[in-house]
Structure 1
């Protein structure tokens, strides 16, 4: 599998436009790599669909971060396609994960077998939007051409362009601040509420993606110390989100269950996921305490990143 790096290489004093072009290209290239693989060779590796979705998210985050440097019409078109790529991957990814779980459940093989067949059929249907998307955007190179045109048009606009060149570091400081403030504001909510925890996870994901893109503007410890602490938190929140997504998936299959054996099997799985979700939530809430919150604030503040929220 190809190796694409999440970290952007740049210098704090580089011209903003140069960093923007390199950054956007580093996010769009993986999308262009994984979509054809996911469309044409899904059986080779289920990671193709997963990585297609992951890099579409990362590309969307980069497009959002550098929005002011992008031509509006081309930006909106690329963003719409990235959103379509993410949506096309959703059902396929859910099916891939569920198929892995069913195939590995030797203890309940008799109950799992007919369900496996149904999920495999659903996975085949879920492949259709991915293939259509590849045909529409990639078979004749439409998406890569549009991306190339976008990158050629990256630059400051209006009054910002008239003011002269901008270095990467001061711009990065201004761009990361609202994401930092939003993250710590979300951290003050009642995280025992699933909705509040979800909003906190999203705020953390936006900050994490921004650090991946902007870290070179700051000291090395932002990448080596603050980022791992944030990623540890995000991994825990992500596990909770995965369990909630698994519950939703199981509920959909339960509504279509055929026979008492399959119904009982799915209900048992659903009950287990609910127990795991509650345990994971309790563990995460206990782990994300005042001390860890303070430590993360301190690590970020050491790079000059201080949240407005107390």
Structure 2
């Protein structure tokens, strides 16, 4: 399944009129993933659905100044719920992979973890099917277009793009500065950098046709940051998943040993992430 949801946009026109040019490909991709999931319970399909939903949340954030605040809050919360449901199986895959790489890989309860992963996949599919993702996404596009196209004022697209990208850049710089001053054990500040970096990267890709070459060069370091901070998030999420499922192991000692291995890996990845601050 193709996962490129970006689309070329003209340099002229207004932001209100071009919302659907950004949103429609993301919604089409999300709907394709949801349809594929019904036929093939593949965790990779869930991940692609999750990415499309994240991009939609970023797009709504970009258009927040032009949309009704309550509508924006509701839709972004809904997409966050869908993305969370879609991401649970991948969390198990990451945990299993990390423990397989540990020094005592042979001692890990693989059967129990795979059974838990299977239950998570079934739960994700059921949640997303009952949530009527298709109807919700189409309603979002319809309502947003109605609001934007009936607005009295028109906002030039290039001006809008520069302003929202600038806001994301300021947020990113602020969070990086805060994380650089934080204690090494303060993962929350690192997590905020990761989220801000993801938002900035998505916006840069959305507005790519209107950006100068110098601005486009920011994509490469953003990808590097996402990769390194994402690796840190993987191990932190795995630690939490393990704490939430203590019965996976035969006894507390075995569970503690696995958590110690993850804690050691987390510290290594935090040092690596800190170098990018």
TM range (shorter): 0.7 to 0.9
| Alignment pair present for 1:288 and 2:276 | yes
Match of 2:176 in 1: 187
Match of 2:34 in 1: 35
Q: CA deviation at 1:31?
A: 1.6
Counterpart Cα distance in 1 of 2:170 and 2:120: 42
Deviation string 1:179-215 (CA, Å, 9 cap, x unpaired) is 1111111222214332222222222222222212222
Counterpart Cα distance in 2 of 1:144 and 1:201: 26
Q: CA deviation at 1:77?
A: 5.4
Q: CA deviation at 1:107?
A: 6.9
Note the residue ranges of structure 2 that are not aligned, 5 or more in a row: none
Deviation string 1:288-309 (CA, Å, 9 cap, x unpaired) is 25xxxxxxxxxxxxxxxxxxxx
1:116 to 98, 111, 120: 111
1:60 to 44, 57, 67: 57
Q: How does 1:244-283 map to 2 (within 5 A)?
A: 244-253=236-245, 255-260=246-251, 263-283=252-272
Counterpart Cα distance in 2 of 1:136 and 1:151: 20
Q: How does 1:9-24 map to 2 (within 5 A)?
A: 9-24=8-23
Q: Which protein is bigger by CA-based radius of gyration?
A: 1
Counterpart Cα distance in 2 of 1:184 and 1:212: 19
Counterpart Cα distance in 1 of 2:102 and 2:232: 22
Q: How does 1:238-249 map to 2 (within 5 A)?
A: 238-249=230-241
Q: CA deviation at 1:278?
A: 0.8
Counterpart Cα distance in 2 of 1:265 and 1:178: 47
Runs of 4+ in 1 over 6 A off after TM superposition: 102-107
Deviation string 1:99-128 (CA, Å, 9 cap, x unpaired) is 55667889755x445x52354146325523
Match of 1:86 in 2: 83
- Equivalent pair of 1:39/1:127 in contact (CA under 8 Å): no
SS of residue in 2 equivalent to 1:188: helix
Counterpart Cα distance in 2 of 1:150 and 1:183: 30
SS of residue in 1 equivalent to 2:12: coil
Aligned-residue RMSD, C-alpha:
3.0
- Choose 234-243 or 205-214, whichever is displaced more: 205-214
Counterpart Cα distance in 2 of 1:19 and 1:208: 19
| Alignment pair present for 1:146 and 2:139 | yes
Structure 1 pair 23–278 and aligned structure 2 pair: CA distance change class (3 A): same
Counterpart Cα distance in 2 of 1:280 and 1:73: 38
Counterpart Cα distance in 1 of 2:35 and 2:94: 20
Match of 1:127 in 2: 122
Counterpart Cα distance in 2 of 1:275 and 1:178: 36
Q: CA deviation at 1:147?
A: 4.3
- TM-score normalised by structure 1 residue count: 0.75
Counterpart Cα distance in 2 of 1:283 and 1:27: 32
Counterpart Cα distance in 2 of 1:125 and 1:238: 21
Counterpart Cα distance in 1 of 2:94 and 2:38: 17
- TM-score normalised by structure 2 residue count: 0.83
Counterpart Cα distance in 2 of 1:214 and 1:10: 8
